[in-house]
Structure 1
Amino acid sequence: MTYRLPLCLLLLLVLRFPLWAQIQREFNTGWQCLPAAKTRADGLALSRPSYVLAGWAPAVVPGTVLATQLANKQVPDPFYGMNNKHIPDIYTTGRDYYTYWFVKDFTEAPVAAKEQIWLHLRGVNYSCDVFLNGQKINKLTHHGMFLRQEYNVTPYLARDNQNRLAIIVYPADPVGNPNGGQGGDGRIAKSVATQYTAGWDWIQPIRDRNTGIWDKVVLERTGAINLKNPHVVTRVPGVRLPGGGQAPAMVQVSAELENPTAKAIAGALQYTLDGHTVSQSVSIPAQSTQVVSLKDLRLPNPKLWWPNGYGAQPLYQLKMQFVIGSKTVSDAETVEVGVREIQTQWNAKTQSRQVLVNGQKVFIKGGNWIISDAMLRFTDARYDAEIRFHRDMNLNLIRVWGGALVERPEFYAACDKYGLLVIQDFWMSGDANGRWLDPQKAEDQWTRRQYPDDHRLFINSAADQVKMVRNHASLAMWCGGNEITPPRDILTALADSILPRLDGTRWFIPYSNSDSLSYNRLGGNGDGPYGIQDPRSFWAVRTFPFNSEVGSVGVGDYESLERFIPKANLMAPQYLGPASKNAEKADSVWTYHTYTGVGYNQYLLPYGAPTSVRDFALKAQLVNYNQYRALMEGFSAHMWEWYTGTIIWKTQNPWTSMRGQMYDYYLDPNACLYGLRSGSAPLHPMYNPVDSMVMIVNNSFAVQRDLMLVVDAYDLAGKKTNITQVIVEINPSMAKNYLPIGAVVRQMAKQKGMFLSLQLQDLNKKVVSHNFYWLSDAKGEFSGLKTMAKTTVKIAAKQLAKDKISVTLTNPANAPVAFFNRLALVNPSTQQRLLPVFYSDNYVSVLPGESTTVVMDYTPGGPMPLVSVEGWNVERQLLPVAAN
């Protein structure tokens, strides 16, 4: 990612060279808009500062037409209740309804000799014409959601420094019929744009199809040479380990140099990295752009970047500039560099790819990602929060699904920071692009197989987006599309030209469930299953060896549901019994927000039939926790034998959907996140429910030794029985069986069920990893939980720092287990949860006579929050936070 140089660096450069006023400023405020149908004026007139903008409304830029309408209270919140049904859909209104003018007035100081001013549009959906001060600056109408635009606007700037930019934005054509199919009738895929906007099984249609200036608008001032698209490659030979001294790494750097002037410009392209400077003299011909490669840098003792759970994620700043005549810095860029090398190799035993980072194989624990916000309201803070949640789940990879977009540099910056590898799909999906026969699609399979209509636009857009994100350490693999390859000419261009030429370092997967990723010996689509599974199946049933999509539950708790479901509709789904064709009957608002209910009640009922929607949501969290812990434990138990990795479908929602999420749209986590966090822990004791074997998994590069495995059972009254404890040792990157405990567990659990505690302790008896199960009785019921006695937990909350609070829960001796406690920070006036909050753990259980501490990170603002604690057998408590 490129950044504007900090002021201190600019001042240092000024002391060394006379510096052109290299400035980038983002146009993210002060925009006005009007539907194009409401004015007869053209762009030549509208872009003159003298034209009076009577009746124009404030506009959201970056943003979409729908985001602007929402900000101006012209439409209701489409994420709440049934509101989205009442917003006009572009398929019904026609494209003119969502065709808008966007206007921005700005001042710009006069340019000095040879200075250049550049206008950058990082994303417009779908087509646009651009005008500045009464002149059209794009000769041909721009098309394509994923093709950046750059214009040298130096000749168009006003002499009095008062300027007006006017952009007319046209929706995609066609917009597709949102008929309930995946991607509607499929015709949304005829354009090079997001496909989910016509509706999917986890989202309702986005009414404007995301029409608008949806990404950043930047004005940049440079000298005679414009330095752009720097490319940094790091090579890390050999097999490395985190920490300690390192053998050298190689750094390979190039950049594009654009000379818009009428004369050749001579100078030097140079960069500095970790105190090392590399320079290359070059002359750029008039009115041309050249790629300049510098000699390789041998970087001694590099600080290596590792995926989450395997090591740290240090980032270097590479400062690059073009110097003219050894005196003037014409342009400068800064790139954050993670020194690492990513490779893949075929595992003949599993029949799937395995990923290597810095020579070490990494077992992939991933999540599928759609997009941060369905209306494209992106912020750095939201990206950071969402990726941090994925880090907190102990995941190490995110796959960006092909029905959305090549993610923004800010997303990748967060993945760099938190150590999440990324598989990036291009813009294809099997549903819209013709993998299957589908009566809901407007055109036949053979026609859809050739979508989009403009293959050259797709190819150009792909090349441009590769340049935009290729420097990020987190980017691990490219993928041709979701469950389908692109048309042959596009696939050939990607595989044989674009990626080798513009990247050359990452493996290219033809499509997400390709046999080249994971050999499909089971038939079907090569991914899934979806929906709630019997937790035992994750351990016992061998599925695809690198499963690109598996699993899909995630109903939030009551506090989550009430954010988007009106009070009148907050009623629990009704279970109709196994004899019914439809096992559940749910309120229409629930089903509109994609609640399917397939299987939930089957796993809820053993806890007792829900008595209210709040009770339903609580019991759903028990199911959620067990579901995702079992998923990752089952895959990890067979690492390198059955599997090289798995990617959950899916871990987040960009809309208020109930399908597949570890946290809701409002960034409130549910129990899925913490069950997955437990099951994905790097060093983890676990219980196989199929053969009753206690196992340990070690997802690190180091031998783990001198650990005590302590296995304890607790009955529903809190009585403890030590089953066994034994010193253990486990080699790197493996899962290992230790001992079967089936006979003991069956005997203790058969009447009312039981609790099972697994701990790994070090030589000082400090717990280094803990896992806690609740097991059913012999009939598969949680009969003991239904009648479990209450306990009173002592809670102590104190402020550790201005943004950090610790909460210690202490359960009295001779009490039952304090089971499944949900912690939150709440506003003292409204008692509404603060969001987002990052918990070191949640939905925690506290053993009799013991304590558990949870640390909460949050963004302070307003009054000191209260701490809320509520558990299965613990009454809700609200208490203040003690000062540090």
Structure 2
Amino acid sequence: MRTLTDLHSGWRLTLAEAAADTPERVRGASVEATVPGCVHTDLMAAGLLADPYLDRNEDQQRWVGDSDWRYATTLPVDGPAAPSTADRIDLVFDGLDTVAEIRLDGEPVGRTRNQHRGYRFDVTDRLAGGGAHELSVVLRAARRYAERVRDEVGERPGAYPEPLQYIRKTAANFGWDWGPSLLTAGIWRAVRLEHWSTARLARVRPQVRVVDGDTGEVVVHVEVERAGDPATELTVTARVGDVTGSATVPARATSATVRLRVPGVALWWPHDLGDQPRYELAVELAAAGVGLDTWRRRIGFRTVELRTAPDADGTPFAFVVNGREIFVRGANWIPDDCFLSRVDRPRYAARVRQAVDANITLLRVWGGGCYESDDFYDVCDELGVLVWQDFLFACAAYPEEEPLRGEVEAEARDNVVRLMPHPSLVLWNGNNENIWGFHDWDWQPVLAGRSWGWGYYSELLPAVLAELDPTRPYWPGSPYSGDPARHPNEQAHGNTHIWTIWNEVDYTAYRDWRPRFVSEFGFQGPPNWATLTRAIHDDPLLPDSPGMLAHQKAPDGTGKLARGMAPHLPEPRNTDDWHYLTQLNQARAVAVGIEHLRSLGPYCAGAVFWQLNDCWPVTSWAAVDGDGRRKPLWYAVRRAFAPRLLTVQPRPDGLAVVLVNDGGDTWSGDLEATRRDLGGEVLAKMSLPAVVEPGRPVTVVLSRDVAETADATAELLVVEFAGGRALWFFAEDRDLPLPTAPPQVRAAPAPDGVRLTVTARALLRDVVVQADRLDPSAEVDEQVVTLLPGESYTFTIRTSVAADDPRWGGAPVLRTVNDLRARAVDTVG
């Protein structure tokens, strides 16, 4: 039987070759290394490196990525390297970052050049004699290697000046418009010795389908590797529940197929449409009745189709799961930490749970990141979140020559096979923005006919999928219009990115778009206050103070925040105001985009905003900041992505109410729309019954007496339906004479914290409780709440701060747009 021994202890880290600016305190140092881990985190643990996430530390740490590093450990005499009767001993690395030389007792074992795949080396002869052995891994500077490859294959353009396209490494490590430049190195995934005899399961590929209603089919393709006598006949057995099948691997053969038909299976569904039943698939390899190896995974039965057949309006891009076309309510996912080994299963679970709680049904794993660990996909399987997986190409022209082409194919094969058991995985996508870049970013004169990646996206990757996993759809890129002769970001065809809003025009211009599917759009805002002040210690702390600018990676990001806010909100008077208003403006902007796109369904079949999460504390497009705190955007997304949405939208013939039902049942009730003055008095009213079937939005154009106003700054529209409410303001907040009457605030103890009841004496715009200003661990159940005169809302706050703390009653903890005009708040004990 194959036995596994982890090699995760006893490692030391030293410099192999120092960059010129390496500090003296590091030269000659030998520190304890954590495996899996990376150089940065080991140096931090040893007190030799300041946290690069804090202040401007990142700027002084380029030397870490520009140095060579050596990991070393000793395999003890009586440990995994002791004399063995196994036919074969393999040294296995699940992930090395990135350019590595592996040695045993100073003698070379192998080299690696790809962070995104695993490696296996036969070390049987090296360990056959027993005794102590030194295992070492030297990691060469990634930037220097990438520059050498660039010199070999020729310059290629990209969105960033770093040579990220010449090495198979997480591209975002080189820096992005939301992330720092931290070129990591390390043994970032598990390493072990495997002892085995006769044969092992080298690759198991379960192709899972649903046939004949509730009958599942699992076609298990097995590849074996042999050691010892190649004439040995082998048996492969596969089992799902009570259903078992077997196949023989004849002498000298290395593959077999077992086909199982499993009756009465329950379908796996996205979390908003059903349950997520999974079944254990067990595969065993034996010879003459003696077990040699086992493989186990949990699989799910579901069907998935990407509907792209042209129609009268263009080219749709619609997901169909278990025969039901769905509107995708999605978010883009980036690595949750620059130091990938720090992201464990509980952290994945917390982050994906935040997605589920925000009514997100799909996460797109973006192409500048990594293929996440199995824990991520397991959690998505368990929680019912669909996964769109990019192959790892982003924002650059990628050479198709060696030494890159072979690595691209190897990593694709590794990861397609590794991830194919997961029912959550519903799409493979060729790249992020590279086809767009080829068309629009002035690449073609620089390329001068050289390869740029199209061969990967149009030939290599689809061929790998057709061979290994034909059960899932593939799409060449994001954005891509479905035809190489057509502009890749043509909104009537395929999937679209919308970035003119953040970069050029006001967020209300989302309503000018009519796309079939949007896989990127978004708007920036700072992290929550506790996250911001943990990471940045500028005095004074200003939107443009040095630490703040170091944590704003978008070109002219601070200027864009100001210009995006100016048409809508009062001018901030200090950093507290700026923080509240920019977070609020982010929430409003993305909500406008989501609600508009959903109102276009089923013509538009999905909205995947940028982005769910951050990798460090930064001003960015994320809904959950770098410390895991939910920004006001998260709460706005939760409302805008609710399965049942009530939204007011401008249409050519006037204001309309759109009722969107993504649930499984009919939604019905009486729709009531009222035009009111800011004091709450009803000036005009209309009502009618409405029935909304799943997947078919209903649009109701409002009567002119309700939808039109003679004084935009004095009135608003209130729409109510089946317990839901939507508001429409005819003027922007900066122009509204918002009442200055302070709200009544009552704080009362709750089992886990505080109940904070806010009662509006007058119209109260967008109440936000920044509880993390009092308690960094505090969590609030709701944010961005507008109250009409006389209404109350009770915020439930999990916190250790007492209810009688007077700071609950006003700024900067309790914020409203009104308090930009008057700060007085009446607190009732």
Choose the corresponding residue for 1:352, options 296, 316, 320.
316
Within the alignment, does 1:549 sit opposite 2:520 as a pair?
yes
Q: Distance in 2 between matches of 1:731 and 1:281?
A: 52
Within the alignment, does 1:695 sit opposite 2:658 as a pair?
yes
Q: Distance in 1 between matches of 2:378 and 2:827?
A: 37
Q: Match for residue 329 of structure 1? A: 291
In the alignment, residue 624 of structure 1 is paired with which amino acid? Answer: Q
Q: Match of 1:403, SS?
A: coil
In the alignment, residue 192 of structure 1 is paired with which amino acid? Answer: R
**Cα deviation, residue 749, structure 1:** 7.1
In the alignment, residue 243 of structure 2 is paired with which amino acid? Answer: H
Q: Match for residue 36 of structure 2? A: 62
Q: Distance in 2 between matches of 1:855 and 1:254?
A: 52
CA shift in 2, pair 1:169/1:650, >3 Å = same
1:236-315 aligned within 5 A: 236-237=210-211, 247-283=214-250, 285=252, 290-295=254-259, 297-315=260-278
Choose the corresponding residue for 1:662, options 597, 615, 623.
623
CA shift in 2, pair 1:255/1:475, >3 Å = same
Q: Match for residue 635 of structure 2? A: 674
Q: Match of 1:834, SS?
A: coil
> Aligned residue pairs: how many?
772
1:63-212 aligned within 5 A: 63-89=37-63, 95=66, 97-103=67-73, 105=75, 107-108=79-80, 113-114=85-86, 117-132=89-104, 134=105, 136=107, 138=109, 140-157=110-127, 164-172=134-142, 173-175=144-146, 184-206=160-182, 209-212=183-186
Choose the corresponding residue for 2:474, options 484, 495, 508.
508
**Cα deviation, residue 632, structure 1:** 0.8
1:268-324: per-residue Cα shift (whole Å, max 9, x none)? 322332332223333453xx7x232102x2222222112242222222222222233
Q: Match of 2:103, SS?
A: strand
Q: Match for residue 316 of structure 1? A: 279
CA shift in 2, pair 1:353/1:113, >3 Å = same
Q: Distance in 2 between matches of 1:466 and 1:879?
A: 60
TM-score (norm 2): 0.83
Q: Match of 1:504, SS?
A: coil
Q: Distance in 2 between matches of 1:129 and 1:317?
A: 38
Q: Distance in 2 between matches of 1:721 and 1:74?
A: 68
Q: Distance in 2 between matches of 1:122 and 1:271?
A: 25
The answer on whether the counterparts of 1:629 and 1:677 sit within 8 Å (CA) in structure 2 is no
CA shift in 2, pair 1:846/1:280, >3 Å = farther
The answer on whether the counterparts of 1:82 and 1:589 sit within 8 Å (CA) in structure 2 is yes
The answer on whether the counterparts of 2:673 and 2:706 sit within 8 Å (CA) in structure 1 is no
The answer on whether the counterparts of 2:83 and 2:130 sit within 8 Å (CA) in structure 1 is no
Within the alignment, does 1:455 sit opposite 2:405 as a pair?
yes
Choose the corresponding residue for 1:645, options 596, 606, 611.
606
1:473-498: per-residue Cα shift (whole Å, max 9, x none)? 12122222222366355446524531
Structure 1 stretch displaced more, 99-108 or 471-480: 99-108
Q: Distance in 1 between matches of 2:348 and 2:513?
A: 35
The answer on whether the counterparts of 2:97 and 2:188 sit within 8 Å (CA) in structure 1 is yes
**Cα deviation, residue 725, structure 1:** 5.0
CA shift in 2, pair 1:302/1:365, >3 Å = same
Q: Distance in 2 between matches of 1:647 and 1:58?
A: 42
Q: Match of 1:174, SS?
A: helix
In the alignment, residue 166 of structure 2 is paired with which amino acid? Answer: K
CA shift in 2, pair 1:849/1:544, >3 Å = closer
1:142-171: per-residue Cα shift (whole Å, max 9, x none)? 222222112344554477686543222223
CA shift in 2, pair 1:203/1:273, >3 Å = same
Within the alignment, does 1:564 sit opposite 2:535 as a pair?
yes
Q: Distance in 1 between matches of 2:639 and 2:357?
A: 10
Q: Match for residue 346 of structure 2? A: 381
Q: Distance in 2 between matches of 1:809 and 1:185?
A: 50
Q: Distance in 2 between matches of 1:483 and 1:564?
A: 31
**Cα deviation, residue 397, structure 1:** 2.0
Q: Match for residue 430 of structure 2? A: 480
Q: Distance in 2 between matches of 1:818 and 1:547?
A: 33
In the alignment, residue 627 of structure 2 is paired with which amino acid? Answer: Y
Q: Distance in 2 between matches of 1:390 and 1:510?
A: 26
Q: Match of 1:60, SS?
A: coil
1:349-748 aligned within 5 A: 349-376=313-340, 377-430=342-395, 432-433=396-397, 450=400, 453-484=403-434, 487=453, 489-491=455-457, 494-495=460-461, 497-516=463-482, 520-521=489-490, 527-532=497-502, 534-539=506-511, 541-572=512-543, 588-589=549-550, 591=552, 595-604=557-566, 606-641=568-603, 643-689=604-650, 691-700=654-663, 702-711=664-673, 723-724=685-686, 726-740=688-702, 743-744=705-706, 747=709
Work out the percentage of aligned pairs sharing the same amino acid: 22
The answer on whether the counterparts of 1:627 and 1:675 sit within 8 Å (CA) in structure 2 is no
CA shift in 2, pair 1:523/1:587, >3 Å = farther
1:365-402: per-residue Cα shift (whole Å, max 9, x none)? 32222322123232222222222222223222222222
TM-score (norm 1): 0.78
Q: Match of 2:375, SS?
A: helix
The answer on whether the counterparts of 2:429 and 2:476 sit within 8 Å (CA) in structure 1 is yes
Choose the corresponding residue for 2:16, options 20, 25, 36.
36
Q: Distance in 2 between matches of 1:197 and 1:452?
A: 22
In the alignment, residue 34 of structure 2 is paired with which amino acid? Answer: V
1:803-838: per-residue Cα shift (whole Å, max 9, x none)? xx8x755455x8446654445776xxx943228x6x
Within the alignment, does 1:227 sit opposite 2:201 as a pair?
yes
Q: Distance in 1 between matches of 2:96 and 2:399?
A: 26
The answer on whether the counterparts of 2:204 and 2:220 sit within 8 Å (CA) in structure 1 is yes
1:610-653: per-residue Cα shift (whole Å, max 9, x none)? 12211111112321221121111100111133x22232233322
Q: Match for residue 446 of structure 2? A: none
Q: Match of 2:534, SS?
A: coil
Q: Distance in 2 between matches of 1:330 and 1:832?
A: 55
**Cα deviation, residue 36, structure 1:** 1.4
1:776-795: per-residue Cα shift (whole Å, max 9, x none)? 54x66353446252222454
Q: Match of 1:625, SS?
A: helix
Q: Distance in 1 between matches of 2:684 and 2:170?
A: 56
CA shift in 2, pair 1:531/1:389, >3 Å = farther
1:203-230: per-residue Cα shift (whole Å, max 9, x none)? 3322xx2222122224445564322432
Q: Distance in 2 between matches of 1:622 and 1:335?
A: 44
**Can you give the 5+ residue segments of structure 2 that lack an aligned partner in the other structure?**
19-27, 151-156, 436-451
**Can you give the 5+ residue segments of structure 1 that lack an aligned partner in the other structure?**
1-19, 39-53, 239-245, 434-447, 575-584, 762-769, 800-804
Q: Distance in 2 between matches of 1:334 and 1:848?
A: 60
Choose the corresponding residue for 1:842, options 774, 780, 783.
783
**Cα deviation, residue 452, structure 1:** 6.8
Q: Distance in 2 between matches of 1:610 and 1:361?
A: 45
The answer on whether the counterparts of 2:390 and 2:428 sit within 8 Å (CA) in structure 1 is yes
1:166-216: per-residue Cα shift (whole Å, max 9, x none)? 2222233434599xx96643523112222222323223322xx22221222
| C-alpha RMSD of matched pairs (Å) | 4.0
Within the alignment, does 1:775 sit opposite 2:729 as a pair?
yes
1:630-680: per-residue Cα shift (whole Å, max 9, x none)? 111100111133x22232233322233312111111111111111111111
Q: Match of 1:668, SS?
A: coil
Q: Distance in 1 between matches of 2:202 and 2:560?
A: 51
